[in-house]
Structure 1
Amino acid sequence: MGYSALLRPRDEQSFARKSSHERQNRSSRRGRIRRTLRSAWQRCGPEFSGWKGQAHLFGLAVFSALVLRLAFPRWNVAIVAAVGLAPFLWAVANAKSGKQAFYLGWVFGAVYYYVLLIWLHVLIVYHPVIPAALVLLGLYLGLFKALFAWLAWRMARRGGTVYWAVAAAWVAAEYIQSLGDLGFPWGYLGHGLWRHPPLLQLTAWTGVYGLSFVLFWANHLLCDSTRALRRETSAPPARQLLARLAILAGFGGAVLLSHLGARHRVHSEDFYATPPATIGIVQPNIPQRIKVRSYSWDTPEEERARLQSEILRKTITVTDQLQSQAGADACDLVIWPETAVTDEFFVFRPAYETLFDDLATTRFGTALFFGATKMHVLRMGRFVAPEDLDLDDYRLHPEAYAFEFYNSTWLVEPGRGFNPTIYSKTRLVPFGEGLPYIQRVKPLAALISKIAGIVPLSAASKHVVYTLRGRDGSALLRFGPLICYESCYPDLSRKRVRRGAELLVIITNDAWYERTAGAASHQLQAIFRAVETRRWVARCANHGISCFVSPLGEIVAESDLAREATVKWHVRGVKELTFYSRWGDVFAWLTLAGTCGFVVLARKRQR
């Protein structure tokens, strides 16, 4: 018997009215949702119907992104940084609306960062989600260029008096991109000059943002001069060109004076605070697939122990070669790369303490600085010291234990053993070593970690400066450590220098990127840290590129990529602080303040 036979006529009519009312409600809700989405799309989405015949503007944005990529490794065509942005600026100037300018900027930024970071695809063997992640990264970073394009279009409507404001908006967008846990100070316009140290000296005053400002001005000058010649602007071409050429010449004069002043100062004897110290760098060239297997808990324990021993043995052998070549010119400090020791239980095994004390005191006869993982064990939320760890209790009650992993550095001194000061990484690679903001939501963090194959590390908060001492205990120099990705952040190097660091030491493992442009793209950051702080930089990489960078940003010695190598140089400590080391991103703050001020004034005038 059907349900309808069980209903009385009145109940049947009531049921029909109720069903009809529910259908109307559902239809009404769907209608409201469609109207809301359509309204949001109309406000924020591209106006394709109004952009007919302007596809060439998006073509120019893509073309500009591809050309600008040539300023960076492996091509390193520096002149592109001064002209490659002009097609994009021309497209923004000819946009029909601020919304269209925004999307032009987004397309430009997304394409630019995708092709700039395309070498990250090599990580797909470790993280299958890399292709999708790279697209999302490009879209995210493209938003900063989109913000600039929208601002530039609005500013252009105010006339030629905002020429300075547009350049400030570009720098402000770069600066905002570097902020927060998702900050990514990579691929800035000024970075395109990395192979030309004489042009970099302005960064001791303004950071990379001063170079970006000058290069943007050159691009804008080219764009506006072209528009003036095509009669797209009302100002006479000759007057416009001469005025802006004069300003650009003034910028060139500032760059030249910075170079001359820096060279004179660095070559002065009183510039240095310490006698020369001999630093040796060891590049063992351990393939990344072997390093990963040596610490992966999916690897059988016996094989993991064997690989850890082989990695350590090879690094020691390459160090022996360095010391045998030194002769009478023995090293005061030998540097090994990031995670040179891949055993997570490094601090829990007393045999390592004996081994490294013997290496520093007897075998090498010099201080040894290296990277390794530091593991904290927590039982019921309480820290367990290495000497108090009860393995039997752990086997019986594994659920009571939790682990925290830190990417750390260690200094072993001859005759004194391990230095009690340990530095752990404070700035983690977003979605590579940590999950910024997401880690606060533990279920979501666990899900993303599982999908992406990420084992989140813990970030430390303490900034450390080591003191290198001779055998007699006297201080030779003080150095500040930077681990891998941290070398991209000028604020971290400034903190080390203000705490007394006379030398910067970068340890990294770029074997992840194999023979791609990734290693050179990362190396260029060391050049800017050297010039900004006027410090020698010693950069030690497992796979390359290891190098020494002078306070003028000159690479005085470097290794080849993907080879066993040793590099040695005499460096001297520097105590004095540059304007940028002392005051930081004042120039960037001014551009940001100027941009915000322009927006506020523009809104008041509209009212």
Structure 2
Amino acid sequence: MSDELSRVPSSRWWNDWVLVSLSIALHAVAFPPWDQPLAAWVALAPLLLALRQKAPARAFLLGFVWGTGSIWAQGYWVPLGIAYYYDQTLLFGLLFSLVASIVFYATYAAAFALAAARLPIGWSAFPRACGLGMIFVTAEWARASLLTGDPWLLLGYALVPGLGFAQIADLGGVYILSFFLVLANAALVECWVGFPQRSGVRLKEALSTLALAVLIPGVYGVWRLLNPVVATETIPVAIVQTNQDLGSHWQEEFYGRGLRDYFSLSEKAVRAGAEFLFWPEGSVNFFVADDPNYRAAVEAQVAAWDVDLILGGPFRDLDDSGVPSYRNSAFYLEPENGLVDRYDKHRLLPFGEYFPLEMIRLLRRFERVRSFTPGEGPSWVDTDRGRMAISICFEAIFPDEVRRQMNAGAKLLVNLSNDAWLGPGAGPSQHLLMVRLRAIENRTWVVRATPTGISALINPYGSVERELERGEAGFLSGDVGLLSVATPYQRYGDVFALVCALGSGAFLLNARFRRFQRRGSA
């Protein structure tokens, strides 16, 4: 034990903060805009080293600071995006982002750190690493599920650019990727503290744990890539990206603005051979289902082109008293019958499309668009080419939502988004990264349409086949396959995360029982 303790950082306060700062930096560079997935394999090791033998209050503080620092390093662009969306000052964006980072991120990181510090360092390498992995996944699952849910850039997403390691997500989603990353990081720490023993059992077990953490997802990924799924049917599609800004969606004088651009680019896409067109979220800023003139114009063009079209726009519904409610919707039009189906967004953006807490209704004065009502109908549209699952904007970052849609028999995932308000930072790239994992989890092609970029065609292995970058106007065309592959994750959802939650409880109860035993024998 004395050899092990000699490798643990001293209690000097600056040692802990150096380790936490290093962990924050490594964690940040694993994601866009830096895109260095190798950093994720070592990013948590400094934090885990700092947490060893820490008192509960100290561990909680270290985790809280790590969580706050990590989300700000990743989301440096958020304050500007918030200020732009609400049409407020940068100070408002900074304060809003600070509160959100504490509520939706730092508290869960602190809870993980507190629990991690309770695991005895005397445990052998493999069970200790597994316990840390399970606790981390449980904290991520809680963050993604509790309150409004915030699954933005969970740790496992860092593996998506590597593709090979990410393929195992079709078994357990993003959480299984996070687990193997934490397993590797924890094994590295065990190697570090056990190094003086060199030939000792602890070092050998730590190295074996590290090998398992890398080899299991790596070998599975190679096998998956060597045994690809084959689509029996393909369709030539085109995404139209006009590069129009957020604009005004609710002033009548702006209704229909930009429609000419969509018509012009769509005409070129049809001439290039497209048979199915996709326009992004908010591509029309009028009520296409209600306005006879604009609706007739769009339907006439679809009929003239002889193509199918899915577009994003608002929908207005009136109750028996004539009071309107609004939905963020996707509309399906076919050449013979015009507008035939609609999907209303189910999971709305907190504080943007709805306000979850009555106590902060005062934030309505900052609202740039009207509040929406969540949809209640099916989360797909049935087209002439088969059923297509629809996710609008940030719905696509909720893996369980998407897999339920695909599990209903969908053959293609369509993501209509508007990332213009995210600003010039890494937000759109981070959003695309998460959508790519939905393709892997469900073994489906993904059509992602945005007005300002990044629009993309994504294959069932998460690789971007073609894309339109931010700031580009044009159309993106290609063939996509129609697939119906029932992956384990698609069928069973977050079972792996549930197992981790149960395992975390068992590990922590065992640790607590052992502490009571030691006190009783003292």
- Work out whether the TM-score is over 0.5: yes
Q: Which residue of 2 aligns with 1:192?
A: 158
Determine the C-alpha separation between the residues in 2 that align with 1:59 and 1:247: 26
Q: Which residue identity lines up with residue 191 of structure 2 in the other structure? A: S
Distance 1:525 1:142, change over 3 A: same
Distance 1:520 1:237, change over 3 A: farther
* Structure 1 residue 86: Cα displacement: 1.3
Distance 1:257 1:53, change over 3 A: closer
* Structure 1 residue 52: Cα displacement: 8.2
Moved more, 64-73 or 239-248: 239-248
**Structure 1 contact 536–551 (Cα < 8 Å) conserved:** yes
Q: Which residue of 2 aligns with 1:37?
A: none
Determine the C-alpha separation between the residues in 2 that align with 1:144 and 1:366: 48
Aligned CA-pair RMSD: 2.1
Determine the C-alpha separation between the residues in 2 that align with 1:508 and 1:323: 22
Q: Which residue of 1 aligns with 2:347?
A: 427
Determine the C-alpha separation between the residues in 2 that align with 1:406 and 1:591: 36
SS of the equivalent of 1:103 reads: helix
Moved more, 524-533 or 594-603: 594-603
2:383 to 465, 468, 485: 468
Q: Which residue identity lines up with residue 539 of structure 1 in the other structure? A: R
**Structure 2 contact 355–361 (Cα < 8 Å) conserved:** no
Distance 1:217 1:604, change over 3 A: closer
Describe how 1:235-246 pairs up with structure 2 within 5 A: 238-246=200-208
Q: Which residue of 1 aligns with 2:264?
A: 317
* Structure 1 residue 565: Cα displacement: 2.2
Determine the C-alpha separation between the residues in 2 that align with 1:169 and 1:464: 32
Q: Deviation string for 1:78-102 (max 9, x for gaps)?
A: 111011211111111152x011001
Determine the C-alpha separation between the residues in 2 that align with 1:310 and 1:446: 31
Q: Which residue of 2 aligns with 1:262?
A: 224
Q: Which residue of 2 aligns with 1:396?
A: none
2:456 to 547, 560, 567: 547
Moved more, 489-498 or 407-416: 489-498
Describe how 1:48-63 pairs up with structure 2 within 5 A: 53-63=12-22
2:33 to 49, 64, 74: 74
Describe how 1:551-566 pairs up with structure 2 within 5 A: 551-566=460-475
* Structure 1 residue 554: Cα displacement: 1.1
Distance 1:606 1:238, change over 3 A: closer
1:411 and 2:332 correspond: yes
* Structure 1 residue 183: Cα displacement: 0.9
* Structure 1 residue 454: Cα displacement: 6.2
Q: Which residue of 1 aligns with 2:135?
A: 169
Distance 1:383 1:82, change over 3 A: farther
Q: Deviation string for 1:333-371 (max 9, x for gaps)?
A: 10000011112x433211122112101101x22011100
**Structure 2 contact 315–328 (Cα < 8 Å) conserved:** yes
1:333 and 2:276 correspond: yes
Distance 1:575 1:346, change over 3 A: closer
* Structure 1 residue 172: Cα displacement: 1.1
* Structure 1 residue 535: Cα displacement: 0.4
**Structure 1 contact 58–107 (Cα < 8 Å) conserved:** no
| Consecutive unaligned residues in structure 2, runs of 5 or more | 1-9, 517-522
Determine the C-alpha separation between the residues in 2 that align with 1:242 and 1:553: 35
Distance 1:77 1:564, change over 3 A: same
* Structure 1 residue 515: Cα displacement: 2.4
Determine the C-alpha separation between the residues in 1 that align with 2:193 and 2:121: 15
SS of the equivalent of 1:79 reads: helix
Q: Which residue identity lines up with residue 168 of structure 1 in the other structure? A: M
1:369 and 2:290 correspond: no
Q: Which residue of 2 aligns with 1:9?
A: none
Q: Which residue of 1 aligns with 2:181?
A: 215
Describe how 1:13-92 pairs up with structure 2 within 5 A: 53-92=12-51
Distance 1:590 1:331, change over 3 A: same
* Structure 1 residue 207: Cα displacement: 0.7
Distance 1:150 1:356, change over 3 A: same
**Structure 2 contact 256–294 (Cα < 8 Å) conserved:** no
1:135 and 2:135 correspond: no
Identity of aligned residues (%): 26
1:280 and 2:238 correspond: yes
**Structure 2 contact 137–500 (Cα < 8 Å) conserved:** yes
Q: Deviation string for 1:528-559 (max 9, x for gaps)?
A: 00000000011111110111111111111111
Determine the C-alpha separation between the residues in 2 that align with 1:461 and 1:597: 38
* Structure 1 residue 445: Cα displacement: 4.8
Distance 1:454 1:197, change over 3 A: same
* Structure 1 residue 157: Cα displacement: 4.9
Distance 1:154 1:452, change over 3 A: farther
* Structure 1 residue 198: Cα displacement: 1.5
**Structure 1 contact 463–495 (Cα < 8 Å) conserved:** no
Determine the C-alpha separation between the residues in 1 that align with 2:449 and 2:336: 24
Moved more, 595-604 or 348-357: 595-604
How many residues are aligned here? 499
1:522 to 419, 431, 434: 431
Distance 1:251 1:98, change over 3 A: same
Q: Which residue identity lines up with residue 374 of structure 2 in the other structure? A: A
**Structure 2 contact 250–369 (Cα < 8 Å) conserved:** no
**Structure 2 contact 85–421 (Cα < 8 Å) conserved:** no
**Structure 1 contact 90–223 (Cα < 8 Å) conserved:** yes
Q: Which residue identity lines up with residue 252 of structure 1 in the other structure? A: V
Determine the C-alpha separation between the residues in 2 that align with 1:162 and 1:193: 23
**Structure 2 contact 191–206 (Cα < 8 Å) conserved:** no
- TM-score normalized with structure 2 length: 0.91
Q: Which residue identity lines up with residue 133 of structure 1 in the other structure? A: F
1:499 and 2:387 correspond: no
Q: Which residue identity lines up with residue 75 of structure 1 in the other structure? A: W
Q: Deviation string for 1:37-65 (max 9, x for gaps)?
A: xxxxxxxxxxxxxx983133133213311
2:479 to 559, 563, 570: 570
**Structure 1 contact 102–150 (Cα < 8 Å) conserved:** yes
* Structure 1 residue 131: Cα displacement: 1.0
Distance 1:383 1:336, change over 3 A: farther
Determine the C-alpha separation between the residues in 2 that align with 1:349 and 1:464: 24
Determine the C-alpha separation between the residues in 2 that align with 1:62 and 1:454: 38
